[in-house]
Chain A
């Protein structure tokens, strides 16, 4: 059984981004970029399913600028078998990515599609659900446990009040939550090996997808700064402030 895993190159999660002075966008000119943390979890899950003999092939895919190749090499070093990079400098909305993924799904005919639940740059949390809609497949978002059978996958999902389990017919789309697994560290020999694994290059035109954005970003602003707080000396002062100044207790 084949799995397709979508990975995104994003600003590293430890970087606190700044808004550009002209308010046009955030400044990510010289910051560290990494694989989106949720996508690492998706790759890890695919690799574990393959190690358990439940998957035969893992295809990692990414969309965007040339440097997405590095993100795909990371996925290959983690254990993906081959990679597809759809190179474009265009800004891609989740719906455009879902359409590109659908075009690849038509070519690859995978049984399992693994994505992160959200990318930590746009925080959209849309692509997996959109892909599922476009290929008319069932979806399990926010997965914290995946049990893959021959023609069904059972997924435990994180919901607001606790956990929910659903069973999906294959092919199915799963988006990963933080607690699904702990992604492995990539070892040096694997990085070397990954350089030899196939990485196919495609263009948006090859896939015949319209990626025209439907939304325009007008401006970007800093969040409202909180007014400077004070440090209190002890519990008595804290209680007094909360009672008399903030009036919240």
Chain B
């Protein structure tokens, strides 16, 4: 049986996060991708070239423009009869929409899963990643959200899916989109970055957070992340937060600067390939997960590191 993956997009471009769900879903069956939006044909064109996608369903309507869960969920439910599994990447959008779909279908959801064992068995982290539970369904329909960092992204080209138009469901008008304020950044997106430089409370203020971390991030072509403490203190915007309640990342290189390493932070970055910690407290728990630890004052060590990389 096939799997329906809900595409995340802004009506013009497919969000690369969706590519992770596509590759994960290939372990479950033929992958169909739903693109619901307003004049979103360009997204469908992009989706049909993704390797491993067999069919793209395109549903267009004014009320799908902003991806409101109240509007998209009835559409997914209408299409659900043909699928055993309905999934999306566990991004803010996926987490928002999918449980609404699951409840309307009266089926369970497996959230943020990291491994597909078989069609009914999945592994997912619990307790901030301190344990991994294997869960098995009783065989009914299932809704899934896939942890992006646990699955390689499907190739954006090489596929040749058919695009089928599907009828839109009627507008629910329970909610109204008011506006969106996106953080402007020229850096790589945090969850897709190869290198991440992350700062914590020890940076002491927003100016130093930027003046210390930016040159290093620039040098490495890295995204900038932050611990909850740094975000709460206003050093960095909310969407920089790495951790159990922020973003889960798994770059090749994660450099934690002035981050003590609370359980909740580790939960968001422990799958990074190489972890470097720079902290002046030799007892900081971050050193338990760091491959390379440097006990030093970050205000001297980070500029030194930038210099060393320049030479």
Which residues does A use to contact B, with CB under 8 Å? 11, 13-14, 16-19, 26, 93-95, 98, 117-118, 120-134, 136-142, 144, 154, 157-169, 177-179, 214-223, 226-227, 229-232, 234-236, 238-239, 241-242, 246, 248-249
Contact = CB atoms under 8 A, between A and B. Distances in A.
Contacts of A166: 68, 175-178
B152 interface: no
A137 B172 CA distance: 10
Contact of B103 (A134, A140, A227): A134
Given A133-B73, A239-B308, A19 B138 contact: no
B187 interface: no
Interface string B215-252: 00000100000001001100001110000110100001
A248 B309 contact: no
Nearest to A153: B175
A158 B175 contact: no
Contacts of B238: 144, 158, 162-163, 179
5 contacts: A125-B99, A134-B103, A215-B136, A226-B270, A249-B195
Contact of A248 (B106, B128, B273): B273
A246 B292 CA distance: 10
B99 A126 contact: yes
B244 A133 contact: no
B135 A218 contact: yes
Contacts of A17: 127, 130-131
B216 to A, nearest CB: 11
B132 interface: yes
B245 A118 contact: yes
Given A129-B103, A226-B291, A229-B289, A141 B252 contact: no
B111 A125 contact: yes
Given A94-B99, A118-B245, A128-B99, 4 more contacts: A158-B239, A169-B173, A214-B140, A218-B121
B11 interface: no
A217 B133 contact: yes
Contacts of A215: 108, 110, 135-138
A236 B307 CA distance: 10
B109 interface: yes
Given A133-B73, A221-B134, A249-B309, A160 B274 contact: no
A235 B301 contact: yes
Given A215-B135, A241-B292, A248-B274, A120 B195 contact: no
Contact of B289 (A127, A226, A232): A226
B108 A129 contact: no
A117 B90 CA distance: 14
A220 B132 contact: yes
Contact of B127 (A117, A123, A239, A242): A123
B100 A249 contact: no
Contacts of A229: 275, 287, 289-293
A162 B132 contact: no
B100 A132 contact: yes
A121 B99 CA distance: 18
Contacts of B134: 217-221
Nearest to B96: A141
B103 A133 contact: yes
B171 interface: no
A242 B170 CA distance: 55
Nearest to B69: A139
Nearest to A168: B175
Contact of B295 (A136, A167, A221, A231): A231
